C-alpha cells in the first residue's frame, strides 16, 4: 500500500482548518500557523474550535508559532517553533486576506494619521478604542459592515462609501458609487475629497477606514503565483458575496489530493535583502 501523501497547509483560519479536516482522511497533513495558537486571530471562535477538533481526530498535525516562508516544489521552509525543511507533495495556501491599501484604492494625499485598514480598526474597536467621532468607511463588504456596527456605538456619524451588498445599520449613511480621491489634513486627517463621477466635494471626517476589496495574502516565497503543487484556499473574486472560507477549504482539499506525485525541487531565492 503506497504511503499517503504529505500535504502542508499554511494558515489555520476557517479555510485552513476545513481543508485539513478533509485531507486528514486520506493524507498526512501538517498545518502551520504563524501565531502561537491554532485558529489564528479567532482561535476562541466556536467554528474554529469545532474544525480543529475534527482535524485532530483525523490525525492532522499542527505547528503553531511557525511561519511558512518558502515553497520549493517538494518541500516547505518554515521558521519558528517547528521551523525547518518539511518535505511535502503539495502546499495549500490559506493565509487569509487583507483590504486594499490606500495606494491600491487610488487614494491620493499626504500620509496622515487616522487612516486605518479595516482589519486593524476591528482589533482597536474590540478593545474599545474610539477611532473618531465622524468616521468614513471606504468599501462595502463584510469588513465594512463589521466596522460600521462597532463604530456606531460611539461615533456621532458613520458614512459608508461604495456599492453595498450587505445590509448596514440604519444609522449609517451609505453612498453607493462614491469614491475617495484624496485625504486632507495633517498630522491627522480632517476631511476627504470624494467624487461620484459627476461632481467632486469635500466631506469632514476624523477617521478613514480602508475596507475596500478582499486581497489574498500571498506571503510564501515560491507560492506567490500559480504553479503545480500549490493550491490557494482564498477568495480570488475580490470580496465575492457568496464566498465561504469553509467551502474554499474543502475545494482546496479536493485539489490537493490530486497533487500526490513528488514535484521537482525548485530552489527559491529569499526576497529578503533583495530588490
Task: Specify the higher pLDDT residue, 213 or 124.
Answer: 124
Q: Is the peptide bond before 124 cis (omega within 30 degrees of 0)?
A: no
Residue 241 confidence (pLDDT) above 50: yes
Rounded CA-CA distance 120/83 in Å is 28
Residue 35 belongs to a domain: yes
Nearest 5°: CA angle at 59, between 38 and 229? 80
User: Within this chain, do residues 221 and 91 fall inside the same structural domain, yes or no?
Assistant: yes
Encode pLDDT of 140-199 as tens digits: 888 899 999 999 999 999 999 986 666 888 999 999 999 999 999 999 999 999 999 999
User: Within this chain, do residues 203 and 252 fall inside the same structural domain, yes or no?
Assistant: no
Residue 12 belongs to a domain: yes
Question: What pLDDT shows up at residue 226?
Answer: 87
Q: In which domain, by residue range, is 120 found? A: 115-210
Report, as an integer, the average pLDDT of 111-140: 95
Report, as an integer, the average pLDDT of 18-25: 98
Residue 164 belongs to a domain: yes
User: Within this chain, do residues 168 and 224 fall inside the same structural domain, yes or no?
Assistant: no
Confidence of residue 275 (pLDDT cuts 50, 70, 90): very low
**Exposed, middle or buried by CB within 10 Å (0-12, 13-18, 19+), for 249?**
buried
Report, as an integer, the average pLDDT of 259-274: 58
Residue 262 belongs to a domain: no
CA 5 from centroid of its chain's CA atoms = 27
Average pLDDT for the chain: 91
Encode pLDDT of 216-237 as tens digits: 999 999 999 888 899 999 986 6
Q: What CATH number is associated with residue 175?
A: 3.50.50.60
Residue 180 belongs to a domain: yes
Rounded CA-CA distance 173/18 in Å is 37
Residue 273 belongs to a domain: no
> In the chain, what is the greatest distance between 2 CA atoms, to the nearest angstrom?
70
Report, as an integer, the average pLDDT of 102-124: 95
Question: What pLDDT shows up at residue 129?
Answer: 96
Nearest 5°: CA angle at 48, between 43 and 51? 140
Question: What pLDDT shows up at residue 263?
Answer: 56
User: Within this chain, do residues 91 and 119 fall inside the same structural domain, yes or no?
Assistant: no
Rounded CA-CA distance 94/92 in Å is 6
Terminal Cα-to-Cα distance of the chain (whole angstroms):
47
Residue 45 belongs to a domain: yes
User: Within this chain, do residues 85 and 18 fall inside the same structural domain, yes or no?
Assistant: yes
User: Within this chain, do residues 18 and 35 fall inside the same structural domain, yes or no?
Assistant: yes
User: Within this chain, do residues 119 and 151 fall inside the same structural domain, yes or no?
Assistant: yes
Which domain-ending residue is among 210, 245, 270?
210
Residue 82 belongs to a domain: yes
Residue 261 confidence (pLDDT) above 50: no
What percent of the chain is modeled with pLDDT above 90? 77
DSSP secondary structure code for residue 106 in this structure? T
Encode pLDDT of 45-66 as tens digits: 999 999 999 999 999 999 999 9
Classify residue 89 as left (phi > 0), alpha (psi -120 to 50) or beta: alpha
User: Within this chain, do residues 182 and 133 fall inside the same structural domain, yes or no?
Assistant: yes
Confidence of residue 1 (pLDDT cuts 50, 70, 90): low
Helix boundaries (H) for the chain = 14-23, 46-57, 118-126, 142-151, 245-256
Task: Give the predicted TM-score (pTM) of the model.
Answer: 0.83
Which domain-ending residue is among 210, 245, 268?
210
Overall number of domains in the chain: 2
Question: What pLDDT shows up at residue 258?
Answer: 84
Which domain-ending residue is among 184, 210, 236?
210
Amino acid at each position: 500500500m503506497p504511503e499517503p501523501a504529505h500535504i502542508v497547509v499554511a494558515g489555520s483560519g476557517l479555510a485552513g482548518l476545513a481543508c485539513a479536516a478533509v485531507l486528514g482522511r486520506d493524507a498526512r497533513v501538517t498545518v502551520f500557523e504563524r501565531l502561537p495558537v491554532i485558529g489564528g486571530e479567532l482561535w476562541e471562535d466556536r467554528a474554529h474550535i469545532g474544525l480543529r477538533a475534527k482535524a485532530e481526530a483525523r490525525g492532522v498535525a499542527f505547528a503553531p508559532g511557525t511561519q511558512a516562508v518558502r515553497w520549493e516544489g517538494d518541500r516547505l521552509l518554515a521558521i519558528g517553533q517547528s521551523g525547518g525543511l518539511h518535505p511535502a507533495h503539495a502546499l495549500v495556501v490559506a493565509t487569509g486576506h487583507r483590504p486594499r491599501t490606500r495606494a491600491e484604492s487610488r487614494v491620493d494625499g499626504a500620509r496622515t494619521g487616522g487612516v486605518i485598514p479595516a482589519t486593524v480598526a476591528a482589533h482597536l474597536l474590540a478593545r474599545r478604542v474610539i477611532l473618531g467621532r465622524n468616521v468614513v468607511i471606504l468599501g462595502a463588504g463584510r469588513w465594512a459592515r463589521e466596522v460600521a456596527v462597532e463604530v456606531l456605538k460611539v461615533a456621532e456619524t458613520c458614512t459608508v462609501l461604495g456599492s453595498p451588498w450587505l445590509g448596514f445599520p440604519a444609522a449609517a449613511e451609505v453612498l453607493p458609487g462614491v469614491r475617495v480621491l484624496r485625504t486632507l489634513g495633517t498630522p491627522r486627517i480632517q476631511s476627504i475629497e470624494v467624487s461620484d463621477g459627476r461632481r467632486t466635494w469635500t466631506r469632514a471626517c476624523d477617521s478613514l477606514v480602508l475596507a475596500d476589496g478582499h486581497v489574498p495574502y500571498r506571503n510564501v516565497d515560491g507560492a506567490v503565483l500559480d504553479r503545480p503543487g500549490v493550491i490557494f484556499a482564498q477568495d480570488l473574486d475580490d470580496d465575492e458575496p457568496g464566498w465561504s472560507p469553509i467551502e474554499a477549504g474543502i475545494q482546496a482539499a479536493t485539489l490537493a489530493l490530486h497533487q500526490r506525485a513528488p514535484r521537482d525541487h525548485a530552489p527559491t531565492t529569499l526576497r529578503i535583502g533583495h530588490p
